[in-house]
Chain A
C-alpha cells in the first residue's frame, strides 16, 4: 500500500512512540510491556486473536484508558480516535454531526472543515440525511471523518471494518489509504489477517498482551515457516500457523 505515498513517510519520521506499556484488569494482564513506533503516513495493523489486548492498546493510545506503566511520546499533532461502534448522533444529520464535533474540536474554520470532510467521505450529497438512514459503511465513514476533524497526525481505528459487507470494506480501506498517502499515520486493530496483509504497511501481532511480532506481512510469512506442500498462499493459514508455533 505504500507505493503511492509521499517520499519520506514511514518509520524514519516517527509520530508516535510507545515504550513498555502495561495494563492489568484485576488479576489479568491485558498488556505486558508493549513497545512500538509509528511513522508519518504509516499504516500499522495491530493484529491478534480475541482478548489479545488490541482494544486496550488503542484505548491507551487514545487517552481513554490509563496505563499502569510505560511511556507514550508523540510528535506535534493530535491523536484522532475512531471507536469500533460509530459514535454519532443518529437523529442528527451528517453535516450537523460534523459541525458539532468540528466546533467541539475548535477547528478554526468550522464550515470549511465540514465541507472538506463531506468531500473526503464522498457524502456531500447525503449531508442533510439523518445518520440513522445511512448504511453501516457510510456511518463508518462519518465516524472516521469525525476522528479526523482535529487534523490529527495519528488516527486510531478500532476494528473499523467489522460489520461491513465486502464492497463497503473495500471503499473504507480506499478511504483510509488516501489518508495515509496524505501523511496521516493510521493505527488500526483487526483480527483479519487478510485485511492486515492487504492494507497494512506493517503488522504488530499481540497475543496475551505481549508483542510477538513486529514487521511486514512477508516477514510474518517467513517467520511462520513453510506452508502446505502445494504452495498455495493463504494469509490466514500462515497467521494461524505462526500463532500455533508460538503456543497461542
Chain B
C-alpha cells in the first residue's frame, strides 16, 4: 500500500502544473469566497456625508427630538459608515466599488423634516443616495439596503412622533400648558376632563353671569379641533417622513429577468466551449495526430485557429438554442439579434481561447476537463460578487481574477446585447477580443511542449 502511495506522490510531483492547481487554486478561491461570504450581509459599507450645520437638530416638541450625534450613532449601528468630506469623494468611493452606496444628508434636510412634521409643508425632506449598479443583483442589494435603512429611520421618527401624539392626547384629556412650536407662545389647554366638570356644573341652569365659562368651553372645543388636526397631520407624516433621492453614478442595469437569462447563457456558453475546445486540442495529442498534422499539413497556429472556430461556432449554436428554448418563458428581444450574435461570437472566441490554453497546458483530455471545471465554475461565481459587498482590496483581487477570464465580459456583452438598459457593449467587446488574443498567444506558447 505505502509503495502505491509513494508512487502516486511521485506522479503528482512530476505533474507540477496539475498538482499546483489542485492545491493552490482551491485554497485561493476558498479564501476569496470565504471572505466574500463572511463580509457580505452584516454591515454594508456606505459612504456618509453630513452637510447639516453642526448646531442643528430635530425638535419634536416637549418630548425632545434628535441631536445629530444621536442620529449618526443610530444610523452607523446598522451600516459601516465610511466618512466622506465632499460629494466628490462619495461619488468616487461609489464608482470604485469601495462602498455599496453613498448617503448624503443635505444641509436643509433637518429644516425640511422639521417643517414637514410640524407644519403642513408639502416639500419632503430628502436624503441623497448614490449607487453604482454594476448589475441587477447589486441593484437589488442596494435597493434592499436603502429600503431597510429608510424604514429604520422612519420607524425611529415614528416612535418619537407617536410620543408627541400621546402627549397631545393627554393634553386634550387632562388639560395643561402647551407651547406652540416655533412661535414660542404658551397657551393654557383646559382639557376634556375639566370641560366635563364645568359642563356638569352648568347643567340645569345657565344664568347670564356664567357666560364667560361657557365661552371657555367654546374656546376649548375650537382648540381641541385644531389640535386634532395637527395630530392627523402628524400621523400622516409618520408613514414616510424621509424620502430618498436615488442617483446612479455608475453602471446601467438590464431588467433582472434579462440578466438571469444572460447569466444562464454565459454559463452555458463558457462551459460548453471551454470543455469542447480544451478536450478537442488535448485529443490531438492523445491520438498522436498532433505531430502528424503539424508536420506540414497545418501550422500550429492554424490548428489553434481551427479549434477556436469550432468552439465559437459551437458557442453560437448552443447559446442560440438556449435562448430559443427560454423564449416561451422569458421575453427575449430578438429584434436585437444583430447585437446578440456578435456578443455570442466574441464570448465564444474568448472562451475558445481559454479552452485552447487549458488544453495545451493540460495535454490530456481528462486533465483538461478537470482543469476547465476547476477554473470556470469558481470564476463564474466570483464574477457575480457585487462591488461594495466586500472590502476594496479584496474586490480588486476579485476584479483582477474575474477580468482574466471571459465569464464577466461575456455576461456584460450578453446582457448589454439583450437589453437596451444593459451595459455599454464597447468595453466588454474589447475585453473579449483582448482575452481571445491573449489566450491564443498563451496556447501557442504552451504548444511548444505539447507533442
B289 within 8 A of A: yes
Which residues from chain A sit less than 8 Å from chain B, CB to CB?
62-64, 81, 83, 85-90, 101, 104-105, 146
CB distance from B218 to the nearest CB of A (A): 104
Contacts of B287 in A (CB 8 A): 87-90
A63 engages B295 (CB within 8 Å): yes
- Identify A64's interface contact among B288, B295, B298, CB under 8 A: B295
Question: In the complex, A89→B296 CA distance in Å?
Answer: 18
Given known contacts A104-B297, A104-B298, A105-B297, is B292 in contact with A89 (CB within 8 Å)? no
CA distance A62 to B292 in the complex (A): 10
CB distance from A192 to the nearest CB of B (A): 22
B293 contacts the other chain (Cβ, under 8 Å)? yes
Interface range for B: 10 to 19
A85 — which chain B residues lie within 8 A by C-beta? 288
B291 near A: Cβ within 8 Å? yes
Q: List 22 A-B contacts (CB under 8 A).
A: A62-B295, A63-B295, A63-B296, A64-B295, A64-B451, A81-B295, A83-B288, A83-B292, A87-B287, A87-B289, A87-B292, A88-B288, A88-B289, A89-B287, A89-B289, A90-B287, A101-B292, A101-B297, A104-B293, A104-B297, A105-B297, A146-B292
Give the residues from 277 to 323 in chain B that come closer than 8 angstroms, CB to CB, to chain A. 287-289, 291-293, 295-298
With both beta carbons as reference points, the residue of chain B lying nearest to A105 in the complex is identified as: B297
Chain B positions within 8 Å of A88 at CB level: 287-289
What is the minimal beta-carbon distance from B363 to any residue of chain A, in angstroms? 15
Q: Is the CB of B288 within 8 A of A87?
A: yes
Closest to B287 in A: A89
A contact residues around B292 at 8 Å (CB): 81, 83, 87, 101, 146
Q: List the 8 shortest-distance A-B pairs measured between CB atoms, nearest first.
A: A87-B292, A87-B288, A104-B297, A85-B288, A87-B289, A64-B295, A89-B287, A83-B288
Q: How far is the CA of A146 from the CA of B296 in the complex (A)?
A: 14
A144 to chain B, nearest CB (A): 12
- Asked whether, in the complex, the Cβ of B298 is within 8 Å of the Cβ of A83, the reply is no
Q: Which residues of A contact B297 (CB under 8 A)?
A: 101, 104-105
Q: Which residue of A lies closest to B293 (CB)?
A: A104
Q: A101 — which chain B residues lie within 8 A by C-beta?
A: 292, 297
Query: Given the complex of chains A and B, what is the CA–CA distance between A85 and B297 in angstroms?
Result: 18
A87 to B292, CA, bound (A): 7
14 extra A-B contacts, CB within 8 A, seeds A63-B295, A90-B287, A104-B298: A63-B296, A64-B291, A64-B451, A81-B292, A83-B288, A83-B292, A86-B288, A87-B287, A88-B287, A89-B289, A101-B292, A104-B297, A105-B297, A146-B292
